[in-house]
Chain A
Amino acid sequence: ETGVTQTPRHLVMGMTNKKSLKCEQHLGHNAMYWYKQSAKKPLELMFVYNFKEQTENNSVPSRFSPECPNSSHLFLHLHTLQPEDSALYLCASSQGLGPTDTQYFGPGTRLTVL
């Protein structure tokens, strides 16, 4: 289970802090995703990148800023977050964007906003 790695695994931040989540995939995939997983709620797709280009932004607030410098790395920059942003943030990658391209997930970053 080391194909997709995420750091840090746990993060606690204040509402005025700026932090970044990092995702790295070692699978040679071209597509990467950020998901938000809140307790007892469906997994929410936040952003999709394909060949470093953003293809989806599902009405995510601007306090979340993604960055994809290359096909292997994906960042989620956080600033001025709210307590309701506390959640598990999952990164995933897939070979392509087709529905038969299996998404491989990382272990997630558990974010707590105080």
Chain B
Amino acid sequence: AQTVTQSQPEMSVQEAETVTLSCTYDTSESNYYLFWYKQPPSRQMILVIRQEAYKQQNATENRFSVNFQKAAKSFSLKISDSQLGDTAMYFCAFRAGNDMRFGAGTRLTVKP
């Protein structure tokens, strides 16, 4: 069975600084997708970034980028130039076929 582990329950960062959230996963699948979702205090979860396992190039969306290390089964999220609006729970997720698994989340607080 697939598992997703986020080892940092809580993190904080100063506004305008850079922060990296960790995620590791375990799978025997060769073709899969990885995701980072953001859930602000208002609770509506949104997709931040997606990575296809067969693509070696790391995905980037504006200030958000990932460091995908397939051999190490690691998928970290880097947030550059952190903004107050980045304060949220961040969930790492894995999908192979119809099987979708989420990590327990990391609560990120951006401090002014």
Check B4–A99 contact: CB distance below 8 A. no
Contact of A42 among B32, B95, B102 (CB under 8 A): B102
Chain B residues engaging chain A, CB cutoff 8 angstroms: 4, 9, 32-33, 42-47, 50, 52, 91, 93, 95, 98, 100-105
List chain B residues, Cβ under 8 A from A44. 102
- Asked whether A106 is an interface residue with its Cβ less than 8 Å from the other chain, the reply is yes
Residue from B4, B43, B101 having most chain A Cβ neighbours under 10 A: B43
* Residues in chain A within 8 A of chain B (CB atoms): 1, 40-45, 48, 55-56, 88, 90, 92, 97, 99-100, 102-108
Partner pick for B50 among A40, A55, A88, A100, CB 8 A cutoff: A100
The verdict on A105 contacting B98 (CB below 8 Å), with A42-B104, A99-B33, A100-B50 known, is no
Contact of B46 among A56, A90, A105 (CB under 8 A): A105
CA distance A1 to B47 in the complex (A): 13
